[in-house]
Structure 1
């Protein structure tokens, strides 16, 4: 693995661990250290940088917190695979978020039928005997990362081709305007059925999302549940004085 000369550790008021983190981070971002590659053992790294193990570990932890490294007990420290971000501060779907970040996203339609909504969806959609059940698999660079089941009020989208079109855009094309959405995301793990679809072992960490989308009349238009692969996705928010509003709820 190529290494340039050790950076100076005497910059005023710059903690040594931060200088190390900046140096390693620049190597990762610049492609000198590629995803999946292993860093040298910690004792060797600490000697190269001329610091204690405690200082080095603080730098490695900083980079792991930033999503650039993965520390695996008993195996070593590895450059992390890049993870896509699902943003909570915009009224967009999964595919729109990922494409906006430059990722190649494809959608597989697993099912698209008219059926009676289950109790959890009917509780939001209200008095509707039938809705469109849309089951999709989202693939990121060919790898499945999101399994999504949406219940859509009415029958307008029963025959629509939604393989490469935003659900919100499809609703707009049918004269149905989306006004707002309420979403709850909690940690979980993949059950066996979803794990098979996402090609992962059962029990793999995941985010479980439930989103309710409302129209201009404040009636629920879509009740949506998604399982997001936690090892390939992360969640980001942007906080501003007049921007994102967040509420924290205690899990039972």
Structure 2
């Protein structure tokens, strides 16, 4: 059982600061500093409320704030646990997935599960605007975040000459640039989904686990499609984040029928 050190007196006596906010801030600091590591259980609520000298109602407000901030997970009948840290999948940059996460200071590695020239499914051919009998490079990758499987990524690439290129440590966009192909823009749709049996096995989670599914089409300077990419992203390891400005990112929401 993890013991929570006595809260600092100044953190609980700041003027006009609600007690639950002060408790949430104190626990958040301990989580971020590693005193309460990911996956560890917080002491029972009665013990915590006694430690902080507050009612259970006040403590529960603090725990709810921490859960809203993604720092803890409250599990009925089990207790409250420190959540695993999440990286952000940004929608406001045109970079490869691993490159984007590394720019945030995340440790990302890639396992190549398959890399060969294949005939794509009809719906992928339609996305790429090619003949249904055309052959493209099928690239299947598993992205690991801090050594843990986080994303299954399946890409269909028109440039079949990349079939022999080692893409385990090289961004696909960088590999294309090395061949003189310039990435101009991308169209991406992100929707909620669940893991199917195959993807669940690869990501080490039960089938039916909630996930984000990203479909992205990348275009060149001539506005012709270059790559169709489908990424299945574990929602408990990554969150989607974007920044908006008056003339910045444009987002559209569509109703799922």
TM-score of the two chains, using structure 1 as the length reference: 0.94
Counterparts in 2 of 1:119-134, with a 5 A limit?
Answer: 119-128=122-131, 129-134=134-139
C-alpha distance after superposition, 1:163-186 (max 9, x if no partner): 110000111111110011111111
Q: Is the 8 A contact 2:73 2:82 kept in 1?
A: yes
Residue ranges of structure 1 left out of the alignment (5+ in a row): none
Count matched residues: 252
- Choose the corresponding residue for 2:56, options 46, 53, 57: 53
Which structure 2 residues correspond to residues 153-192 of structure 1 after superposition, within 5 A? Answer: 153-192=158-197
Correspondence 1:163-242 to 2 at 5 A: 163-242=168-247
Residue matched to 2:67: 64
1:18-37 matched pairs, under 5 angstroms: 18-37=21-40
Rounded to whole Å, the distance in 2 between the matches of 1:179 and 1:232 is 29
1:111 aligns with 2:114: yes
Task: Give 1:151's match in structure 2, choosing from 153, 156, 175.
Answer: 156
Tell me whether 118-127 or 44-53 shows the greater mean CA deviation: 44-53
Answer whether contact 2:6 2:51 (CA < 8 A) is retained: no
Partner of 1:98: 101
Say whether 1:40 aligns with 2:32.
Answer: no
Deviations 1:90-115, CA, capped at 9 Å, x for gaps: 11122112212222211111111112
Task: Render the CA deviation track for 1:112-148: whole Å, top value 9, x for unaligned.
Answer: 1112221221112113412111111111222211111
Q: Which residue of structure 2 lines up, in the alignment, with residue 83 of structure 1? A: 86
Q: Secondary structure at the match of 1:90?
A: coil
* Residues in 1 aligned to 2:246 and 2:75: alpha-carbon distance in whole angstroms: 38
2:33 maps to 1:13: no
Contact 2:7 2:26 in 1 (8 A): no
Shift of 1:216: 1.0
Does 2:5 correspond to 1:3? yes
Q: Secondary structure at the match of 1:156?
A: helix
What SS does the corresponding residue of 2:162 show, helix, strand or coil? coil
Give the conservation status (yes or no) of the 8 Å contact 1:132–1:151.
yes
**CA contact 1:111–1:134 (8 Å) conserved in 2:** yes
- When the two structures are superposed, what TM-score results if normalisation uses the length of structure 2? 0.92
In the alignment, structure 2 segments of 5+ residues that lack a partner are none
For 2:204 and 2:222, how far apart are their aligned partners in 1?
40
